[in-house]
A and B are shown apart, each in its own frame.
Chain A
Amino acid sequence: MELFLMTLTTGVMVGGIYALVALGWVLIYKCSGVLNLAMGELTIIGAYVSYTFHSVGIPFVPAVLLTLMVGIVLGILTERIFLDKLIGEPILAVIMVTVGLSFFLKGLVGYIWQNDTRVFTPPVFSIKPISVGFLQISPVYLWSFILSIVLLIIFVCFFKYTRWGLSMQATADDETAALSLGVSARFVYAAAWAIAFMSAGVGGALLGNINGINVSVGYLGLLVLPAVVLGGLNSVPGAIVGGILIGLLQNFSGTYLDQYFPGGVKEIVPFAFMAVFLLFKPYGLWGWERIERV
């Protein structure tokens, strides 16, 4: 029973980080229709950038804020250089540009940081577990969860109440109508990419605190894809629920299935589950069901 509760809390907390990254993904898709396969690389860039800031002596929270700044710049650059020219192109072209982008970013990250495993030193969070009732929670998870929930709330509020967020929502809803009302679509696309880079960056920084930074952080970033598919590609609440579900699934399979299928069952189960899930609900939990006409 204790093991069950431990797994449950860890799953929800890691899932919070996935939800944050998934939110960035969904924003891009909703606003500009780009299906982004470079999410793993975005995450790993965030992890290394925050590590670099942290290693020159900047405390963790300002380092994360600086990472957010870098994310804004990188997001706008990426959108301007690579994706701006592809508006209105077929879906395969847009997806594959993000694949090209992921290769480019992967090479860049390797070139700059050599893909070594780096650990935040001194450790940002203490190793001593915090007791809540009879549960032992490691502070890394707790603080990561709190930070990602705070950021999630900030992002959702931004989306709902600010002028920029509303113009993004309008573009996501109906691009032509938004354009006729004076919303700059190019600005909205750039903003969506900036937010995606930011959320992936913070997600990467938090994930990097859990197990150290190396290529596997990029793989964890890739887990966002099953998360958004579970939630439905174009639903913000779906992304959050999907992220938490993937976190739970991953941790429960790690705890309970690993003894039957030794090896990396934890990494595989989200993808396997998603493949089966799509057979029954092809549009995820809250995705728009597209009615096709000839």
Chain B
Amino acid sequence: MSSVWLPCGDYHQDYAEDQGWWQTRFIKGKMILLLLAVFVGIPLFAGEYWMSVGTMVGYTAMGALGVQLLIGYSGLLTLGHAAFIAVGAYTSTMLILQFPWPQSLLDSGLAYPISIVVAGIVAGLWSVLFGLPSVKVKGFYLILTTMAAQFITVDFILTQYISQIGGRGQAFSLPPGTIKIGPWVVDNERSVYYLMAILLTLMVIVLANLLRSKPGRAWVAIRDNDIAAETLGINIVWYKLLAFFVAGFMAGIAGAFWVCNTAALSPEHFQWFLSLWLVGVILIGGVGSIQGAIFGSIFMVVVMELLQMVALPVAEYFPSILMDFAYIKDMAFGLAICAFLIYEPNGLAYRWWQAKNYFNLWPFSY
């Protein structure tokens, strides 16, 4: 199961070792370097612009992790994940704006952290509600029920009712300084980036731990063959709903995080497009791996930024391109998904795995 190459003569003695976090010193060093790069390197060397791109990547990855858990690990096809992100974002915002917080909590800056957790739980429960049909249906039918979640939640409940609270019409905005964690006010690119990095790291750790323990094995068994999994004594109803809860929880946290990036909120951020986009991200990154979700997010966000960079100089000669850029972006994204599925169905994570294997043996090919 583990695809780790051990140094010659080094064997795993028991199961716990086989599942360990740090299997070799090289891996440990690599991960520490990665964390250093994310927490120190990028903030030190990247400008405001690339830091905001990093935030975007992180937000996409947070959403994509939940989709990866549902599609890649549990085999539950979903096309409505944006609904749960939206539920998280709205829960957090409504809590901050409307809830009568005791002054002591506000002063100590606990309102936003509490709202993040509540947003996760509410989004998780909402996700379980729409995951209920998964007990009976699967495949394409499940896609349709999750689509129903999307349209009911975002296009109906949030747009028609929640957005009307306070009579402001469409968008909510958060006054500056409301979003703070303890004494730390999250208000500029740098602090948003750090919050993203912390949340994303926590999520990856939690998800990786879940996946290498009992629930993870149950999910993979259900994905591979749910009837066989049931005969093995796995409670598939419970584990399917658990998968929906965890994915919804992560989506809720992603949504609550998104609030502090934009400081404004409207249903337009959570259209069906976002759900499809997230599924596209994991397809391009690679289905069934955590790295895949992150590679996919990096690829998609960075490619779109590069497209924009190319479009700007070209637009000097063809001004119409700038106007049509949104459409060109759609076309590029659609073609990217199709091309990856046709020519590279295992995604970027597979290429990464191949490269790793190659260099493990390099320069001796056997």
Whether A111 contacts B144 by the Cβ 8 Å rule is no
Q: How far is the CA of A272 from the CA of B152 in the complex (A)?
A: 7
- Is B238 positioned at the interface, with any CB of A under 8 Å from its CB? no
- Is B228 positioned at the interface, with any CB of A under 8 Å from its CB? yes
Whether A99 contacts B337 by the Cβ 8 Å rule is yes
- Is B276 positioned at the interface, with any CB of A under 8 Å from its CB? yes
Chain A residues near B155: list those with CB within 8 A: 264, 267-268
CB distance from B227 to the nearest CB of A (A): 5
- Is B285 positioned at the interface, with any CB of A under 8 Å from its CB? no
- Is A6 positioned at the interface, with any CB of B under 8 Å from its CB? no
Chain A residues near B280: list those with CB within 8 A: 96, 99-100, 103
Q: How far is the CA of A88 from the CA of B57 in the complex (A)?
A: 33
Residue in A92, A103, A104 whose CB lies within 8 Å of B276: A103
Which positions 135-156 of chain B face chain A at CB distance < 8 Å? 136-137, 139-141, 143-145, 147-149, 151-152, 155-156
CB distance from B232 to the nearest CB of A (A): 10
Interface 0/1 of B299-335, CB less than 8 Å to A = 0000000000000000000000000101111111111
Chain B residues near A89: list those with CB within 8 A: 341, 345
Prevailing SS type, chain A contact patch? helix
Chain B residues near A97: list those with CB within 8 A: 337-338, 341-342
Whether A99 contacts B331 by the Cβ 8 Å rule is no
Interface 0/1 of B204-240, CB less than 8 Å to A = 0000000000000000000001011001000000000
- Is B95 positioned at the interface, with any CB of A under 8 Å from its CB? no
Whether B338 contacts A263 by the Cβ 8 Å rule is no
Chain A residues near B287: list those with CB within 8 A: 92
Whether A265 contacts B156 by the Cβ 8 Å rule is yes
Whether A275 contacts B136 by the Cβ 8 Å rule is no
Chain B residues near A229: list those with CB within 8 A: 141, 144
Q: How far is the CA of A229 from the CA of B231 in the complex (A)?
A: 29
- Is A12 positioned at the interface, with any CB of B under 8 Å from its CB? no
Residue in B133, B149, B276 whose CB lies within 8 Å of A278: B133
> If A262-B160, A264-B155 touch, does A275 touch B333 (CB 8 Å cutoff)?
no
> If A100-B338, A263-B156 touch, does A275 touch B145 (CB 8 Å cutoff)?
yes
Whether B147 contacts A271 by the Cβ 8 Å rule is yes
Whether B345 contacts A93 by the Cβ 8 Å rule is yes
Whether A263 contacts B144 by the Cβ 8 Å rule is no
Chain B residues near A59: list those with CB within 8 A: none
- Is A279 positioned at the interface, with any CB of B under 8 Å from its CB? yes
Which positions 276-299 of chain B face chain A at CB distance < 8 Å? 276, 279-280, 283, 287
- Is A102 positioned at the interface, with any CB of B under 8 Å from its CB? yes
CB distance from A108 to the nearest CB of B (A): 6
> If A99-B276, A267-B151, A272-B152 touch, does A104 touch B342 (CB 8 Å cutoff)?
no
Chain A residues near B159: list those with CB within 8 A: 263-264
Chain A residues near B324: list those with CB within 8 A: 110-111
Whether B156 contacts A264 by the Cβ 8 Å rule is yes
- Is B132 positioned at the interface, with any CB of A under 8 Å from its CB? yes
CB distance from B140 to the nearest CB of A (A): 5
Chain A residues near B276: list those with CB within 8 A: 99, 102-103
Chain A residues near B140: list those with CB within 8 A: 35, 91, 95, 233
Chain B residues near A37: list those with CB within 8 A: 79, 143
Chain A residues near B338: list those with CB within 8 A: 82, 97, 100-101, 104
Chain B residues near A265: list those with CB within 8 A: 156
CB distance from B343 to the nearest CB of A (A): 9
Output the nearest chain A residue to B333 by Cβ-Cβ distance: A103
Q: How far is the CA of A226 from the CA of B141 in the complex (A)?
A: 10
Q: How far is the CA of A96 from the CA of B160 in the complex (A)?
A: 30
Chain A residues near B46: list those with CB within 8 A: none
Chain B residues near A111: list those with CB within 8 A: 324, 327-328, 331
Chain A residues near B179: list those with CB within 8 A: none
Q: How far is the CA of A106 from the CA of B331 in the complex (A)?
A: 7
> If A82-B338, A100-B335, A107-B328 touch, does A282 touch B136 (CB 8 Å cutoff)?
yes
Whether B336 contacts A271 by the Cβ 8 Å rule is no
- Is A210 positioned at the interface, with any CB of B under 8 Å from its CB? no
Residue in A86, A103, A275, A294 whose CB lies within 8 Å of B144: A275
Name 28 A/B residue pairs within 8 A (Cβ), A-sorted: A35-B143, A82-B342, A86-B341, A92-B77, A96-B337, A99-B280, A101-B334, A102-B276, A103-B333, A103-B334, A104-B330, A106-B327, A107-B332, A111-B324, A111-B327, A111-B331, A225-B147, A262-B160, A263-B159, A263-B160, A265-B156, A267-B151, A267-B156, A274-B144, A275-B149, A282-B136, A294-B227, A294-B228
- Add 10 more A-B contacts to A99-B337, A279-B133 (CB < 8 A): A89-B341, A96-B337, A96-B341, A100-B335, A108-B327, A110-B327, A263-B161, A271-B152, A278-B144, A293-B227
Query: Which residues of chain B have a CB within 8 Å of any CB of chain A?
Result: 71, 77, 79, 130, 132-133, 136-137, 139-141, 143-145, 147-149, 151-152, 155-156, 159-161, 225, 227-228, 231, 276, 279-280, 283, 287, 324, 326-338, 341-342, 345
Query: Which residues of chain A have a CB within 8 Å of any CB of chain B?
Result: 35, 37, 82, 85-86, 89, 91-93, 95-97, 99-108, 110-111, 225-226, 229, 233, 261-265, 267-268, 271-272, 274-275, 278-279, 282, 292-294
Q: Which 4 pairs show the lowest CB-CB distances between chains A and B?
A: A103-B334, A107-B330, A104-B334, A263-B160
